[in-house]
């Protein structure tokens, strides 16, 4: 009986499974947001909104943004690995300068938990830094 070369055996052997990054499912999400503004005497109450997330939103990082209408925000340095997500952002605030910062957190098939830190440029009435916690839960298909 002939023996197969070791290289052939390695190629024919089952390959180890490659861990795929969890990808959020597109659909309708309930997003909760809690913002804390440094220097603000009274903190803003938590808010929530519903947002239809498309497959393209997931690919380009807009699924993790804190606004349902973020056309004036640019996302860069998006990294999605396993359940970890991070990106940098820059937003133009009409008449108020810019908002820049970093967001990171975890996502899974039906939601995410993110922490955002940033600053206003120029500072707004003594308030320059902020942090924001966001969480999202999939409710079902978009309507």
Closest CA to 33 of 8, 70, 6: 70
Mean of per-residue pLDDT scores for the chain: 79
Which residues are CB-neighbours of 25 under 8 A, at least 6 positions away?
109, 110, 138
Burial class of residue 64 (count of CB atoms within 10 Å of its CB; 0-12, 13-18, 19+): buried
User: Residue 108 has what pLDDT?
Assistant: 92
Distance (Å, rounded) from C-alpha 25 to C-alpha 5?
44
What's the pLDDT tens digit per position in 37-50? Answer: 777 777 788 899 99
User: What is the value of pTM for the model shown?
Assistant: 0.74
Distance (Å, rounded) from C-alpha 92 to C-alpha 108?
29
Closest CA to 27 of 2, 59, 63: 63
User: Residue 67 has what pLDDT?
Assistant: 62
Secondary structure class of 12 (helix, strand, coil): helix
What's the pLDDT tens digit per position in 20-37? Answer: 445 789 999 999 999 887
User: Residue 10 has what pLDDT?
Assistant: 30
User: Residue 13 has what pLDDT?
Assistant: 32
**Of residues 59 and 30, which shows the higher confidence score?**
30
User: Residue 70 has what pLDDT?
Assistant: 63
């Amino acid at each position: 009986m002939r023996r197969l070369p070791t290289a052939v055996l390695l190629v024919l052997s089952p390959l180890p499974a490659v861990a795929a990054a969890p990808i959020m499912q597109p659909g309708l999400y309930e997003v909760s947001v809690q913002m804390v503004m440094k220097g603000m005497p009274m903190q803003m109450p938590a808010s929530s909104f519903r947002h239809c997330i498309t497959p393209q939103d997931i690919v380009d990082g807009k699924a993790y943004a804190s606004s349902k209408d973020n056309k004036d925000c640019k996302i860069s340095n998006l990294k999605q690995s396993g359940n970890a997500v991070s990106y940098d952002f820059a937003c133009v605030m009409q008449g108020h300068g810019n908002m820049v910062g970093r967001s990171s957190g975890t996502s899974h098939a039906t939601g995410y938990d993110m922490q955002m830190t940033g600053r206003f440029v120029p500072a707004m009435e003594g308030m320059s830094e902020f942090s924001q916690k966001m969480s999202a839960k999939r409710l079902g298909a978009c309507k």
